[in-house]
Amino acid sequence: MSVHGAVDPSLGATAPALQHVPSRARAALTGGGPGGNEEVTARTGILLVALLAVLGVTIIGIGQFIWLHLFLGLLLLGPVALKMGSTGYRFARYYTRNQTYRDKGPPELLLRLLAPSVVITTVIVFASGIVLLFEGPKSRGIWLSLHKVSFFVWLAAMALHVLGHLPGLPRQLRGVEPVEALGGAPPGQAGRWILLGGSVVAGAVLAIVLLPHFGVWTAPGALHHHHHGG
């Protein structure tokens, strides 16, 4: 990408929306092309793995950590949306025959085969979790079963997804080469960090806004009623 030429956004921002922004600023926010897309996808993936590890601990001690389980589940929505957005953008650019993405090549076959199961189970896990949050412990039956089963299927698919990305992770994290015109910063680096940080902030804000709904789950005896109710 030329810093002074047309912007090749790594995550879908369009040149018309940024036509009044100086080219250097545009490059700092939206440059990077396929390499920038890979970098933000990889960094978001690492963040998700870390958050999922903590979420796993909350499942082991769900009675004690139900509030943290709910909070993390909502916080994860931001990074999950970013991860799906970045991978979906690469998919769209490749299959609409954008030349820079065609030159980069398609994802590995294993990752392409896993993608539908990852997307579908992600939607089911979080949708069922949100329903359970609003319905409370009285919502027994299909929603809880759906949430549990889809979570473990999702976890297995995500584990394979992460393993499939491991060989290329160091290269992806290196991202885009710095350019002198941006003061030694890689094109799009500022925009990628804004996206990553913004996804966490958005998820945290959502969790804070929905804190009042945690009460039905954190009330004394709520989980006991959930497990042993009729």
pLDDT value for 172: 74
% of the chain exceeding 70 in pLDDT: 80
- Please tell me the predicted confidence (pLDDT) of residue 35: 87
Tell me what pLDDT residue 18 has.
47
DSSP alpha helices (H): ranges in 76-140? 77-95, 99-104, 109-135
> Which residues lie closer than 8 Å to 9 by C-beta, 6 or more apart?
15, 30, 31, 188
What are the b/e assignments for 73-112, b being 16+ CB within 10 Å? Answer: bbbbbbbbbbbbbbbebbeebbeeebeebeebeebeeebe
Read off φ and ψ for residue 164, nearest 5 degrees.
Answer: -65, -25
Give the pLDDT score at 124: 94
C-alpha to C-alpha distance for 135 and 7, rounded to whole angstroms: 46
134 class by beta-carbon count within 10 Å (0-12 exposed, 13-18 middle, 19+ buried) = exposed
Region 172-178: what's the mean pLDDT? 70
What does the mean pLDDT of the chain come to? 80
